[in-house]
Amino acid sequence: MSALIRLTDVSKRYGDAAALLPTNLDIERGKTTVLIGPSGCGKSTLLRLIIHLIEPDSGSITFDGEPISTDNIDALRRRIGYVIQEGGLFPHLTARANVLLMTRHVGKSQEEMHGRLLELCELTRFSDQLLPRYPVELSGGQRQRVSLMRALMLSPQLLLLDEPLGALDPLVRAALQKDLKKIFARLQQTVLFVTHDLAEAIYFGDKIVLMNEGRIVQKGSVTDLREKPAEPFVLEFINAQRGVVLT
């Protein structure tokens, strides 16, 4: 079975600075791939290239074998869920309206969608009592659960998560990590997960992709990274977070 997403020699620069050097990467089906690396190394850039918020300067990206371009991106975006650190919920819409936003534009029936909504509430452990609330009336953790429901609403083939837990306090974060992992397993979801926290990467990652200064330094399991570091930076990065890893 081929990879769901394949990046071939994809690069992106802003003015003189390269945000992403020519990069090759496969995202495998049914697995969670974690992108990790120091701030500014190009993780978000890579995600934004996949969902076509920005266009690559060179190279190509395929989704399920189909090259992503401006022509087919609207259809493809409905097959991809995208969650960012701040949640990206629209403040003028209730939690329910945020989650159902896309469904009105893809021609699904009301009942069907209502059923799906309750299913997602249960999956993400979000109380349906809170659905009529506006984003400002929810806690950070609740907001991220709503974002996740919105991303999962149309049963996407791919879930792109850009530091979804970055803004949460440790307790809420730990609870959500647990829930997310269960959800991914239950849905056999293909996930591309960005974090700069090594412990989180190890917890989620079937495969860890370590990036630095716009390029991929090493891919593999955490054991690979620890025992066969491709270059000194890998150990440097691991050691800097050792305290966290050991717990």
Partner 1 sequence: MNSVRPALVGRGRRARRARPIGRFLLLLILFASICTANGNPVIIGSKKFTESYVLGEIAKRTLMDPGIPAEHRQGMGGTIILWQALRGGQIDVYPEYAGTITQEILKSDRSLSLDQIRESLAKFGVGMTEPLGFNNTYALVMRHSEAQRLGVRTISDLRRYPQLKIGLTHEFLDRQDGWWPLRERYALPQQNVIGIDHALGYAALANGSIDIKDAYSTDAKIEQNDLVVLEDDLQFFPKYEAVFLFRLSIRGDAIAALRRLEGTLDERRMIRLNAEAERTKNYTRAADLYFNRGAASANSVGDSFPQKLARWTLRHLQLAGFSLLLSVIFGIPLGIIASRGGPIGQLIIGFASVVQTIPSLALLALLVPLPFFGISVRTAIAALFLYGLLPIVRNTATGLQDIPRSLRESAVALGLSPFVRLWEIYLPMASRSILSGIKTSAVINVGTATLAALIGAGGLGEPILSGLNLNDHVTILEGAIPAAVLALFVQWFFDLLDRVLIPKGLRL
Ligand X SMILES: Nc1ncnc2c1ncn2[C@@H]1O[C@H](COP(=O)(O)OP(=O)(O)OP(=O)(O)O)[C@@H](O)[C@H]1O
Q: Is residue 44 part of the contact set for Mg ion (CB under 5 A)?
A: yes
Partner whose binding site includes residue 236, from Mg ion, ligand X, partner 1, none (CB under 5 to 8 Å by kind): none
Q: Which is nearer to ligand X, 46 or 153 (CB)?
A: 46
Q: Return the number of the residue (142 or 218) whose C-beta is nearest partner 1.
A: 142
CB of 105 to partner 1, least distance (A): 6
Smallest gap from Cβ 164 to ligand X, in A, equals: 12
The 3-class SS string of the chain reads CCCCEEEEEEEEEECCEEEEEEEEEEECCCCEEEEECCCCCCHHHHHHHHCCCCCCCEEEEEECCEECCCCCHHHHHCCEEEECCCCCCCCCCCHHHHHHCCHHHCCCCHHHHHHHHHHHHHHHCCCHHHCCCCHHHCCHHHHHHHHHHHHHCCCCCEEEEECCCCCCCHHHHHHHHHHHHHHHHHHCCEEEEEECCHHHHHHHCCEEEEEECCEEEEEECHHHHHHCCCCHHHHHHHHHCHHHHHC
45 lines the binding site for ligand X (CB under 6 A) = yes
For ligand X, the closer CB: 54 or 123 = 54
Q: Which residues bind partner 1 (CB under 8 A)?
A: 48, 51, 53, 74-78, 80, 82, 84, 86, 88-94, 101-102, 105, 134-137, 150
Q: Which residues bind Mg ion (CB under 5 A)?
A: 44
